[in-house]
Amino acid sequence: MDNWTFGWTMIIVGMGGTMATLGFFAILMGVLKRIFPVKEEK
Amino acid sequence: MWDAVINGVSGLGAGFVHMHWSNPVMIVVGCFLLFLGIKKDVEPMLLVPIGFGAILVNIPIADLMGNDGFLRTIYDMGVSNELFPLLIFIGIGAMTDFGPLLENPKIFLLGAAGQCGIFLTIGLALFFGFPQLDAVAIGVIGACDGPTAIYVTSRYAPHLLGAVSVAAYSYMSLVPVIQPPIMRLLTTEKERNIDMNAVNKSYKPASKNARMAFPLVITIIGGMIAPQGLPLLATIMLGNLMRESGVVGRLTKASENEIANVVTLFLGISIGATMDGEKFLTGQTLMILAFGFIAICLDTVCGVLFAKLMNVMTGGKINPLIGAAGISAYPMAARVVQREGQRHNKQNFLLMHAVGANTGGQAGSVMAAAIMLSVLKGMGIIP
**Does residue B199 have a pLDDT over 80?**
no
Exposure class string for B153-187: b at 16+ Cβ within 10 A, else e: bbbbbeebbbbbbbbbbbbbbbbeebbbebbbebb
Please give, rounded to a whole number of angstroms, the shortest distance from the CA of B221 to a CA of chain A. 9
* pLDDT score for B202: 66
Structure confidence by residue, pLDDT tens digits, B35-48? 999 998 888 888 89
Question: How far apart, in whole angstroms, are the C-alpha atoms of residue B143 and residue B365?
Answer: 5
Please give, rounded to a whole number of angstroms, the shortest distance from the CA of B137 to a CA of chain A. 13
Q: DSSP letter for B10, please.
A: H
Q: What Rg, from alpha-carbon coordinates, does chain B have?
A: 22
Q: pLDDT > 90: what percent of chain B? A: 67
* pLDDT score for A23: 95
Structure confidence by residue, pLDDT tens digits, B67-83? 889 999 999 998 888 89
**Does residue B347 have a pLDDT over 90?**
no
User: Mutate which of B103, B108, B219, B366 to test chain A, going by most A C-beta atoms within 10 A?
Assistant: B108
User: Alpha carbon of B98 to those of A37, A39, B57: distances in Å?
Assistant: 16, 19, 40
Whether A38 sits inside 8 A of B207 (CB atoms) is yes
Q: DSSP letter for B205, please.
A: P
Listed by number, the residues of chain B in 319-348 with a beta carbon closer than 8 Å to a beta carbon of chain A are: none
Mean pLDDT, residues B355-361 taken together: 93
User: Mutate which of A11, A13, A21, A35 to test chain B, going by most B C-beta atoms within 10 A?
Assistant: A21
The complex scores an ipTM of 0.93
Largest Cα span, chain A:
64
Better-predicted residue by pLDDT, B246 or B169: B246
Whether A27 sits inside 8 A of B105 (CB atoms) is yes
A8-17, B180-189, B235-244, B277-286: which has the minimum mean pLDDT?
B277-286
**Does residue A42 have a pLDDT over 60?**
no
Please give, rounded to a whole number of angstroms, the shortest distance from the CA of A33 to a CA of chain B. 6
User: Mutate which of B110, B119, B134, B299 to test chain A, going by most A C-beta atoms within 10 A?
Assistant: B119
pLDDT band at A40 (very low <50, low <70, confident <90, very high): low
Whether B225 sits inside 8 A of A21 (CB atoms) is yes
Angle in degrees, 0-180, between the axes of helices B175-186 and B332-344, rounded to the nearest 10: 40
A6 contact residues in B (CB cutoff 8 A): 126, 132, 379, 381
B214 contact residues in A (CB cutoff 8 A): 29, 32
pLDDT band at A14 (very low <50, low <70, confident <90, very high): very high
Residues counted in chain B: 383
Contacts of B136 (CB under 8 A, 6+ apart): A10, B122, B152, B156, B157, B372, B376
Structure confidence by residue, pLDDT tens digits, B106-151? 999 999 999 999 999 999 999 999 999 999 999 999 988 889 999 9
Mean pLDDT, residues A22-40 taken together: 90
Out of A3, A26, A37, name the one closest to residue B108 (CB): A26
Cis peptide, bond prior to residue B205, ω within 30 of zero: no
pLDDT band at B373 (very low <50, low <70, confident <90, very high): very high
What's the whole-number average pLDDT of chain B? Answer: 91
* pLDDT score for B130: 94
CB B34 within 8 A of CB B51: yes
Is residue B204 less than 8 Å (CB to CB) from chain A? yes
**Does residue B367 have a pLDDT over 90?**
yes
Is residue A41 less than 8 Å (CB to CB) from chain B? no
pLDDT band at B166 (very low <50, low <70, confident <90, very high): confident
**Does residue A41 have a pLDDT over 60?**
no
Question: How far apart, in whole angstroms, are the C-alpha atoms of residue B306 and residue B248?
Answer: 38
Question: How far apart, in whole angstroms, are the C-alpha atoms of residue B171 and residue B296?
Answer: 8
Q: What Rg, from alpha-carbon coordinates, does chain A have?
A: 18
* One-letter amino acid for residue B81 of the chain: N
